[in-house]
Structure formats: C-alpha cells, structure tokens
C-alpha cells in the first residue's frame, strides 16, 4: 500500500522529518538526491529514534583509510545513542539489530511510502 506523505520540496535536505502514515510515526530522511524512510521506534528500548541526529557514516576499506561515506546517513537515537544506517535500518555496532525501513518512491515531486516493511527487527 502506497501512502503519499508530502511534497519533496517541503522536506529539508540533511534532516529527518517525522510524519504519521496509517497511524505509524515514520521519519523521512532527505539526503542529497535520496529519500529514506525509517520507523520512529528504536530497536533498543523503543525510544523516539527519529528525534535523534543524522550524520554521514564512517567507513574504511583498509587500516588508515577511514572516511565519511556521504551517501550513507546514520541516525543516532536520542535516548542511549544507538546508531542505525538509514539505508538498511541495521545498527552500526551490531547488524543483528535493526529498525524498520520502508521503500520510498518520488513521483511527480511527491514522496510515496510503501508501508509493507522492508526489514523486521532481527532481535
Ligand atoms: S531506546 Fe534508542 S538507544 Fe536506547
């Protein structure tokens, strides 16, 4: 089921905006040319994940080569700091933990969410 959550231009780049779609609080992350959607429910103790802060993920392919992955936003939960990759919903420190993410399409400038969950919390 696709749900229209608003006009793309109304969402600020580099920020998370919480919307309510079919009774679910979902954070919409506009990140350069990409848009992601993640449930506002932390996998740790069900905190308000999407009220946390966003930053690019740090990655490294070899020792001494750590760099910011600008296309990979991470959101940090405001309660205890668990960090999740917004693209996959997986926790950065242990991919066995995950939050729900939702497929996003942008059509005619509108953001459409598919509310069938992409991933379930793994633990
Ligand atoms: S509830 Fe999110 S880190 Fe604890």
- Confidence band of 121 (pLDDT split at 50, 70, 90): low
The closest-lying atom of ligand 1 relative to the alpha carbon of residue 42 is 2
Mean pLDDT of 37-44: 97
Mean pLDDT, the chain, rounded, equals 93
The pLDDT tens digits for 53-82 are 999 999 999 999 999 999 899 999 999 999
- Confidence at residue 1, expressed as pLDDT on a 0 to 100 scale: 84
Q: What is the 3-state secondary structure (H, E, C) of the chain?
A: CEEEEEEHHHCCCCEEEEEEECCEEEEEEEECCEEEEEECCCCCCCCCHHHCEEEEEEECCCCCCCEEEEEEEEEECCCCCCEEECCCCEECCCCCCECCEECEEEECCEEEEECCCCCCCCC
The closest-lying atom of ligand 1 relative to the alpha carbon of residue 81 is 3
Residue located nearest, by CA, to atom 3 of ligand 1: 80
Mean pLDDT of 4-27: 96
Residue 118 has pLDDT above 60, yes or no: no
């Amino acid at each position: 089921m696709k749900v229209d959550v608003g006009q793309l231009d109304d969402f600020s780049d580099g920020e998370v905006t919480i919307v309510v779609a079919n009774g679910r609080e979902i954070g919409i992350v506009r990140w350069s040319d990409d848009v992601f959607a993640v449930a506002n429910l932390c996998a740790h103790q069900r905190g308000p994940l999407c009220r946390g802060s966003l930053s690019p993920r740090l990655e490294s392919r070899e020792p001494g080569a750590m760099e910011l992955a600008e296309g990979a936003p991470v959101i940090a939960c405001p309660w205890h700091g668990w960090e999740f990759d917004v693209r996959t919903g997986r926790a950065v420190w242990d991919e066995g933990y995950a939050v729900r993410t939702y497929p996003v399409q942008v059509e005619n400038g509108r953001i459409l969410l598919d509310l069938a969950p992409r991933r379930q919390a793994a633990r």
